Chains A and B, each alone.
Chain A
Amino acid sequence: MDTILAVKDLAVEFATYGGTVKAVRGVSFDVTRGETLAIVGESGCGKSVTVQSLMGLIPMPPGRITNGTATLNGKSILNLPAAEANKFRGVEIGMIFQDPMSSLNPTMTIGDQIAETLKVHRGKTDQEAFKIAVELLERTHIPEASKRAKQYPFEFSGGMLQRAMIAQSLACNPAILIADEPTTALDVTIQAQILELMLELQRTENMSIILITHDLAVVARMADRVAVMYAGQIIESGTVDDIFYRSSHPYTLGLKQAMPSNTHDRDKSLSPILGSPPDLFKPPVGCGYCARCPYAMAVCAEHLPPTTKISESHEARCWLHHAKAPNIEELHQLEDQDAG
């Protein structure tokens, strides 16, 4: 397949007053043309830091990329000087953020902000750029686009602002759109509109999407492939069906059991994941999840589990997949017996 973006062994840390936070600890993934890769995880797992370091958006200092490579169409994009980074940022990779209100300039009209992208990267004149900006707003289905282009962000609703952000990110026809929690701040009906718009644009532009989210339901609607992150590492990755129907890491299983499934049996109680994520000032030597894992073994606390290939598309980072480990299915059955 046609790999556009390849990230390998990425590690990012931040020097803070309290010590060094190891936010991303060796993350590798690929993105191929036209696909949607979802990176899921809870707050603090390093999913946003991962994509921000690709875009050169990590303030350095205090941030530091300590290891790893990232190549976009074969060219390295990590640790570039700003002038170099600007050649691909917003051109080959577009990005939209969780909070569109604070990501747009409140003192510029929406149309001018989109036009700015075109003037900087495509050398368009003011008039040309503004005309294209209006077309872009129309493509993201903003009603009365030519009138709305002359308005300021405060005159837009949250959903409309997110549309405007998408219009801006599409200005240079990027190969990849990074969407960092694009619908978290939106209501469910507006979320449905924005997700539908992203799918539509992906089809027409043959664009890849990296979707950062904490919401497994959004992942189920949008993703082709999924990477589940925990404590700065990818602990499981695979196709969306691998992750949902053949979950192979106790954390992924735990997340699924913590969510209500919409079946009639109301009595089946939710199983929360007990405890909280590890302190990344002193990341655990072994598996990051072992303190919360119901299947944890002695080896989990002492050694980092290797990444095991479960099928051609599916990988998990867990000692339970080691040849000598007890079978996770057997563990499930034991648990069911206990419960029964």
Chain B
Amino acid sequence: MLVRTEKLKKHFTIGRGQTLHAVDGISLTIDENEILGLVGESGSGKSTFGKALIGLHPKTSGEAYYDGERLPKRFSTKDHLHYSKQMQMIFQDPYSSLNPRMTVLDIVGEGPGIQGQQSNSEIRDKVAFWLERVGLSADHMSRYPHEFSGGQRQRIGIARAMIIEPRFVVCDEPISALDVSVQAQVINLLDELKQSMGLTLLFIAHDLSMVRYVSDRMAVMYLGSLAEVGPSNDVFFDPQHPYTQFLVESNPEPDPNLERRRAFKPIIGEITSPVNVQAGCRFADRCPKVIDRCRVETPELITLSGARQVACHLFE
């Protein structure tokens, strides 16, 4: 395995003695050359987990390991410099994640520039290579972000992460802001890069169909904790946790016959607040199969069979 977290927590203090439990004890492993999909509703803490993992947020408690090395609790500038050669991130919003006052050359070339040991002309050649590689043109180097469409900007973001030739990339909703036809372009590019560079990806998204398609394994997050982990097809086609079942049932399919056959009552209620979370299952308030124990005791991830894990008292 390349990446491992153990009871990783990230809490935010939000004043008046209140604590927001964004990530509340996540234990996950990601194997070398694997795509792990992380799904969940907004507010479930999936982006915060990705950021805490690569050091963009200091961890509240728990551990994260990269290639056997224990990552520091709070990254110093030196740590960032060291680990950014290995770990990179692609952001959700291709509009706000590129500095509008920098040219594409500056944006994509910034990483190798900071890493040092390369002359300007070497960096230039590298940027040209990577722009071509992600399907843009080397001539685009002198342009500014506003001159590109959303899909093209996302490619700039990908080139910026890949030029470092990292081993592990956190993709935070890389396709949510894009149109359907362009989503497929970006997904195919990520898949191709994974194959050719042997990348390991944490793919964060809320589009269940896309995550199933892209990832080898899928982890379902709810209110800062994991509900279910397993091979993508198993989790999608045979969900075990009541929350995963609802998620899959809610997910519309582009197939009218299938939709007409669907006998489905939407889940009642909404994701509750992650502020001052009490003990017990996070999903208990909305769960149709809730038992008394769920309200007092927090379920741990238990292994069902092989690679499948679920955090639910019904399976104990």
Identify the interface centre among A157, A220, A241, A269: most chain B CB within 10 Å of its CB. A220
Smallest CB–CB gap between A35 and chain B, Å?
14
A157 to B246 Cα, complex, angstroms: 20
* Residue interface bits B177-199, CB-to-A below 8 A is 1, else 0: 00111111101100100000000
* Residue interface bits A196-231, CB-to-B below 8 A is 1, else 0: 100000000000000000111111110100000000
Q: Is B247 an interface residue (CB 8 A)?
A: yes
Q: Are A214 and B179 in contact (CB under 8 A)?
A: yes
Q: Is B251 an interface residue (CB 8 A)?
A: yes
Q: Are B254 and A188 in contact (CB under 8 A)?
A: no
Q: Is A327 an interface residue (CB 8 A)?
A: no
Which one of B73-81, B116-124, B263-271 is at the interface?
A: B263-271
Which one of A61-69, A118-126, A255-263 is at the interface?
A: A255-263
Q: Is A29 an interface residue (CB 8 A)?
A: no
CB neighbors of B among A256-278 (8 A): 256, 258-262, 264, 266, 269-274, 276
Q: Is A281 an interface residue (CB 8 A)?
A: no
* Residue interface bits A231-270, CB-to-B below 8 A is 1, else 0: 0000000001100110000000011101111101010011
Chain B contact residue count (CB 8 A cutoff) = 45
A80 partner residues in chain B, CB cutoff 8 A: none
Smallest CB–CB gap between B178 and chain A, Å?
9
Q: Are B254 and A217 in contact (CB under 8 A)?
A: yes
A196 to B70 Cα, complex, angstroms: 48
B254 partner residues in chain A, CB cutoff 8 A: 216-217, 219-220, 244, 256, 259, 261
Partner of B247, one of A188, A195, A216, A274: A188
Q: Are B252 and A193 in contact (CB under 8 A)?
A: no
* Residue interface bits B242-278, CB-to-A below 8 A is 1, else 0: 0000110111111111110010111100110000000
Partner of B184, one of A160, A188, A240, A270: A270
B262 partner residues in chain A, CB cutoff 8 A: 221
Task: Report if A244-B256 is in contact (Cβ < 8 Å); known contacts: A196-B266, A258-B183.
Answer: yes
Smallest CB–CB gap between B218 and chain A, Å?
12
Q: Is B21 an interface residue (CB 8 A)?
A: no
Smallest CB–CB gap between A243 and chain B, Å?
9
Smallest CB–CB gap between A259 and chain B, Å?
6
Q: Are B185 and A188 in contact (CB under 8 A)?
A: no
Q: Are B258 and A220 in contact (CB under 8 A)?
A: yes
Pair count A-B, CB < 8 A = 120
Q: Is B236 an interface residue (CB 8 A)?
A: yes
A47 to B150 Cα, complex, angstroms: 19
Q: Are B151 and A258 in contact (CB under 8 A)?
A: no
Task: Report if A188-B41 is in contact (Cβ < 8 Å); known contacts: A258-B183, A266-B213, A270-B188.
Answer: yes
A43 to B183 Cα, complex, angstroms: 13
Interface bin, chain A? 35 or more
Task: Report if A272-B252 is in contact (Cβ < 8 Å); known contacts: A217-B209, A221-B259, A262-B236.
Answer: no
Smallest CB–CB gap between B256 and chain A, Å?
5
Task: Report if A258-B191 is in contact (Cβ < 8 Å); known contacts: A157-B270, A196-B266.
Answer: no
A240 to B259 Cα, complex, angstroms: 11
A258 partner residues in chain B, CB cutoff 8 A: 180-181, 183-184
A295 to B251 Cα, complex, angstroms: 33
A254 to B256 Cα, complex, angstroms: 18
Partner of B41, one of A187, A244, A259, A264: A187
Partner of A189, one of B150, B185, B250: B250
A218 to B67 Cα, complex, angstroms: 42
Smallest CB–CB gap between A101 and chain B, Å?
13
Q: Are A216 and B180 in contact (CB under 8 A)?
A: yes
A193 to B181 Cα, complex, angstroms: 27
* Residue interface bits B119-151, CB-to-A below 8 A is 1, else 0: 000000000000000000000000000000111
Q: Are A192 and B267 in contact (CB under 8 A)?
A: yes
A187 to B251 Cα, complex, angstroms: 10
Q: Is A191 an interface residue (CB 8 A)?
A: yes
Smallest CB–CB gap between A207 and chain B, Å?
20
Nearest CB to that of B179 among chain A residues? A42
Nearest CB to that of B43 among chain A residues? A187
A246 to B112 Cα, complex, angstroms: 50
A216 to B256 Cα, complex, angstroms: 10
Smallest CB–CB gap between B147 and chain A, Å?
13
Nearest CB to that of B215 among chain A residues? A266
A6 to B101 Cα, complex, angstroms: 48
Q: Is A305 an interface residue (CB 8 A)?
A: no
Q: Is A190 an interface residue (CB 8 A)?
A: yes
Q: Is B59 an interface residue (CB 8 A)?
A: no
Q: Are A43 and B206 in contact (CB under 8 A)?
A: no
Task: Report if A255-B180 is in contact (Cβ < 8 Å); known contacts: A188-B41, A266-B213.
Answer: yes
By a beta-carbon cutoff of 8 Å, the part of chain A in contact with chain B is 42-43, 157, 159-160, 187-193, 195-196, 214-221, 223, 240-241, 244-245, 254-256, 258-262, 264, 266, 269-274, 276
Those 4 A-B pairs whose CB atoms lie nearest each other, nearest first:
A272-B184, A260-B213, A273-B181, A217-B252
Listed A/B pairs (15) with beta-carbon separation below 8 Å: A42-B179, A187-B206, A214-B179, A218-B252, A221-B259, A244-B255, A259-B254, A260-B209, A262-B212, A266-B232, A266-B233, A269-B191, A270-B184, A270-B188, A271-B184
Other than A157-B270, A191-B250, A270-B187, give 9 A-B pairs with Cβ distance below 8 A. Answer: A188-B247, A192-B249, A192-B250, A192-B267, A215-B180, A220-B255, A241-B257, A259-B254, A272-B182
